[in-house]
């Protein structure tokens, strides 16, 4: 089991949600279940954590949302990534890859520095 700090989870939360939405429209509970599955149940996200992030992504026009009707005349809010969100995600993933490759290079430096 990998213990991921709350800081790293928070830093990657927008990217995680946008990555999930890049596969297609979804709703809060389904996104939570996807995160649970993808992290092999190691990230414990709650409604109280995901909905403020979805709201901010919506305000930043990285996603759009709309209400739909489900069984028993209940409403459900659906989220879709926007073109701006796709561009943001691509840039963010490139940045994360750069950071990861830089860290990997730095780990190899101890042989050179000694």
User: Which CATH number covers residue 18?
Assistant: 1.10.10.10
Q: Is residue 94 part of a domain?
A: yes
pLDDT digits (tens, 9 = 90+) for 51-90: 999 999 999 999 999 999 888 889 999 999 999 999 999 9
Any domain includes 1: no
Cut 0.75: pTM above it: yes
Check: CB of residue 65 under 8 Å from CB of residue 54.
yes
| Domains held by the chain: number | 1
Q: Euclidean distance between the first and final Cα of the chain, in Å?
A: 32
Average pLDDT over residues 98-102: 91
Q: How far is CA 73 from the centre of its chain?
A: 30
Name beta bridge partners: 66.
78
DSSP 84-109: HHHHHHHHHHHHHHHHHHHHHHHHHH
């Amino acid at each position: 089991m990998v213990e991921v700090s709350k800081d790293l989870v928070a830093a990657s939360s927008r990217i995680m949600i946008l990555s999930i939405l890049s596969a297609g429209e979804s709703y809060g509970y389904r996104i939570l279940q996807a995160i649970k599955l993808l992290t092999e149940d190691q990230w414990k996200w709650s409604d109280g954590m995901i909905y403020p992030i979805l709201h901010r992504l919506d305000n930043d026009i990285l996603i759009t949302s709309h209400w739909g009707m489900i069984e028993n005349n209940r409403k459900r809010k659906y989220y879709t990534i926007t073109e701006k969100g796709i561009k943001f995600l691509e840039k963010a993933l490139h940045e994360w890859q750069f950071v990861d490759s830089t860290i990997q290079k730095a780990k190899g430096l101890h042989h050179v520095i000694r």
